[in-house]
């Protein structure tokens, strides 16, 4: 079983839809992932931006006859969530709230998601780790334990970061794929974020066998494409004994400490 996937490294903000549509219609993939907050151009999470974004995702998914996933800010009972919406052939098939909003997001009223979900389409199992969620190895383990084949990772990658070793950050994605036996599609945007900071793409696609596709220029619009062999991932899952032979009692300390949600 093969899956053709694309990370849409589009412009962010007011030109996002035009940029993304141009990239999406330049290829023929089964799945397209948009960057986190790709359609937001200011620091106001208004309902109109979310509605416009969701309508666009639905339209593009229907026109392409494909899976199209992108983020919008969801309002629920007076609370706000950074949510990935996944459409298939124009139908909404999954939503996933960001589990670990950043300090910047929390200051803007974004709340924590409660649970990592799994959804299945055409026999392939998916989950989504939104941006910073990928930095928590204990959370990344859950899709592996649930037999997920492909993880979606929409991100904002800031041009300037306090984190070290930016030139090696792609290694994190291979490590997550290798440890947990799934592919990762990472999509980042290019331009200025809704916070006014410069962001760069750094989009890539990883599998347990390595980084099989990555950006050529972090500052340019690009479509990062690859064909994922789902069968090979499942064969590797069978031999990855770390998914089965875990000493649970020694890991209880993972539950100590954390953020208030």
CB 23 within 8 A of CB 221: yes
Q: Could you tell me how many residues make up the chain?
A: 261
pLDDT at 43 over 80: no
- Rounded distance, CA 90 to CA 75, Å? 22
Name the most confidently modeled range: 73-82, 121-130, 245-254.
121-130
Helices (H), 66-169: 103-107, 137-145
DSSP bridge partners of 40: none
Check residue 98 and give its pLDDT: 98
CB 211 within 8 A of CB 170: yes
Check residue 194 and give its pLDDT: 86
Q: Angle at the Cα of 61 (from 55 to 64), degrees rounded to 5?
A: 135
- The whole-model pTM stands at 0.95
* pLDDT tens track for 191-218: 999 888 899 999 999 999 999 999 999 9
Of the candidates 160, 96, 162, 159, the one whose C-alpha atom is nearest the C-alpha of residue 133 is 96
User: Domain ranges in the chain?
Assistant: 2-255
Dihedral over Cα of 153, 159, 164, 168: its sign? positive
Check residue 261 and give its pLDDT: 81
CB 200 within 8 A of CB 190: yes
Of the candidates 57, 145, 73, 133, the one whose C-alpha atom is nearest the C-alpha of residue 102 is 133
Q: How confident is the model at residue 171 (pLDDT cuts 50, 70, 90)?
A: confident
CB 134 within 8 A of CB 102: no
CA-atom Rg of the chain in angstroms: 17
Upper half-sphere CA count for residue 110 (Cβ side, 13 Å):
23
* pLDDT tens track for 72-121: 999 988 899 999 999 999 999 999 999 999 998 999 999 999 999 999 99
Q: Does domain 2-255 have CATH number 3.60.110.10?
A: yes
Tell me the pairing of strands 198-200 and 191-192. antiparallel
CB atoms near residue 37 (< 10 Å): 28
Q: What does the DSSP 8-state code read for residue 243?
A: G
């Amino acid at each position: 079983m093969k899956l053709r996937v694309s990370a849409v490294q589009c412009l962010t903000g007011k030109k996002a839809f035009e940029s993304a549509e141009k990239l999406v219609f330049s290829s023929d993939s089964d799945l397209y992932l948009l960057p986190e907050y790709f359609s937001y151009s200011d620091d106001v999470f208004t309902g109109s931006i979310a509605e416009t974004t969701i309508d666009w995702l639905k339209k593009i998914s229907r026109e392409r006859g494909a899976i199209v996933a992108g983020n919008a800010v969801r309002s629920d009972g007076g609370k706000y969530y950074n949510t990935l919406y996944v459409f298939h052939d124009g139908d909404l098939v999954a939503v996933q709230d960001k589990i670990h909003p950043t300090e910047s997001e929390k200051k803007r009223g974004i709340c924590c998601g409660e649970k990592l979900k799994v959804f299945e389409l055409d026999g392939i199992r998916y989950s989504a780790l939104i941006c910073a969620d990928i930095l928590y190895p204990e959370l990344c383990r859950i899709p592996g334990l649930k037999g997920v084949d492909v993880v979606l990772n929409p991100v904002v990658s800031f041009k300037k970061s306090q984190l070290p070793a930016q030139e090696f950050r792609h290694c994190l994605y291979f490590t997550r794929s290798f440890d947990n036996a799934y592919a990762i599609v990472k999509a980042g945007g290019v331009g200025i974020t809704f916070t006014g900071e410069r962001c760069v793409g750094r989009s890539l696609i990883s599998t347990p066998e390595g980084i099989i596709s990555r950006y050529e220029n972090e500052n340019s619009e690009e479509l990062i494409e690859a064909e994922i062999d789902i069968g090979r991932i499942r064969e590797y899952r069978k031999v990855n004994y770390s998914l089965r032979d875990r000493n649970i009692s020694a890991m209880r300390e993972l539950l100590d400490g954390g953020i208030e949600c």
